[in-house]
Structures are given as C-alpha cells and as structure tokens.
Structure 1
C-alpha cells in the first residue's frame, strides 16, 4: 500500500505541475523579473498545494486563486524579509508607520497581468476610461464606435477583469 500511495502522490504532484506551473511561473516572472526565482516560487507553491489535498478538491477557479495567492504571498514575504535584512537599526524609530509600497507594486502588476489577458476591445475601453479618464462619448470618438458599444464593452471588460483578478487571488 505504501508504494501505491507514493506513486499516487507523485502522479498528483505531476498533474498539479502540468496544469498550473507554466502560468504560475509566468506570473511570478512578471512580478520579479527573475526566471530562476520564479521557478523556485512556482515549485514551492505547487508543493504547498500538494501538501493540502483539500485545496485540490475545490473547483478549478478556487484552486487557481489559492495558487496565485500563495505565490504572491511568497514573493511579498521574501521582499519584506530582504528589506528587513538591509535595514539599519535606530534608537529613534519614526513616530508614524510608513505605508509599505510592496503591496501597491504587486497590485499594479496583478492588474497589468489581468489586463493583458483581456481582448483588445475590452482592454482599450478600460485604458481609455480608467487610465486616461475619458468619458463614454470621448472613448466612442477615439475608437470610432457608438456610445452604446463603449458602454457594453466596458460592462463586459469590468466583468472579465474582476474574474481575472479573482483567479489571481485578488478577492472582492
């Protein structure tokens, strides 16, 4: 029984790797710009999932969200500990806590990653509407489409964006 169990566990880990490693690796590589580090984080994330079989019994979208959240947290924790190793102690700490920019940077990367997965039509209306702060009328003129089309695309773009972010572990 022990040998069969070990074989089953190895098959589970291989299936987990085949299903998620490439996408997780690309995600972490975009966050960090370090391919070797991305592979390490990907392997650690998959190993943690393998250690928690209950996670793998969830629906596919929930498994993906869990994996992206774990990978993101591993990167954040590593960055914070690296920053702490390089900090110099002082007898007079600042009176006010300074906001940690790490979460803000990672969130912007997550948004960029999610945007890149949208269709060009959806990406265009979001970029024009949210990043350039154009009105529906201005977007319609810029893209040469009716205002109703802009409203429709915006609705579906926001829905797709929300789904893409949830799959990456951003919940709302």
Structure 2
C-alpha cells in the first residue's frame, strides 16, 4: 500500500509485503550507521522504521509522498534516540557509583574502583534484574514492596535478585576487583 502510493504505476503489493524496498533499506542502514548506531544494532533500527511505516498505514494516515525521505528522517531520529539512551545508561552507572554511603569510603581508590565495577556490572544486567537490584539495594525497598510495585510474585523478585547478585559477583571476580 505504501509503495503503491509512493510509486504510481506499480502494481499493489500483496498484503504483508515489506514496506521498504532494498534501496530504501540500504538508505535507512546508511543513515543509522552515519548517525553512530553500532553495526550490531542496525537490523533493529531498520525494523523500527518498518514498524513505524506499518503503524502509519494501519492508523489510516496517508502514506508519505516520498517514503524513502520519510524513512531516512525516521532513521535519523532513531539514531538520536539511541545516543540519548546510551548517555542515560552511562549517567546511571555514574550515579550508582556516587550513591555509596560515605562510611564505605575507607579504602579510597579501592572503593571507587569497586563502585565503578559494580556500576558497569549493573549496566550489563537485563533490565528486569537491574531494576530489582536497584530497588532492593539502592532504594532499600523490601522484597514485598518491590513485588507489589512491579506486579510480580515475591518469588520472582527473589529469583531475579539471586540471579543478578550471582552475575555481579561473577563479574567482580572476573575483573579481579574482589
């Protein structure tokens, strides 16, 4: 549907066809790459552009006059969003390192290294595990409150905490921090 409107004279695409042709996909990949998105994340970015095109068509809005240009703008916005998310993650690590109570600063440089290593380890955890670790150990919420706030059973919170703490411990041993 989108291609037909963007390219008069072509036959209508069958239902479920790819809204981006090969040239448009290459252009989207190039815009994402030039925007600084890592090679590993490019397929996800292309899928996001496809999804937005399909959502636009499903909502009944008119297709863009130039699908290729529209897709490039969307790709550019996705690259900006990717950088914002990355900066947020970096700041989270810095904030978590700064949250250590002052009484634990006895070791000076050693404690700073430990804090940074823990922050990096937290960055590598899946979102659900990171969330329960932060709520339990940094926000000091009991397991029951975490379960209620997240809408999951207490056992799930405990399981996520156990898995996350084990992963953090392994990471700290691997990095020879502890």
- Fold conserved between structures, TM > 0.5: no
TM-score for both structures, normalised by structure 1: 0.40
Q: Which has the higher contact order (CA 8 A, sep 6+)?
A: 1
TM-score by length of 2: 0.39
The structure that has the greater radius of gyration is 2
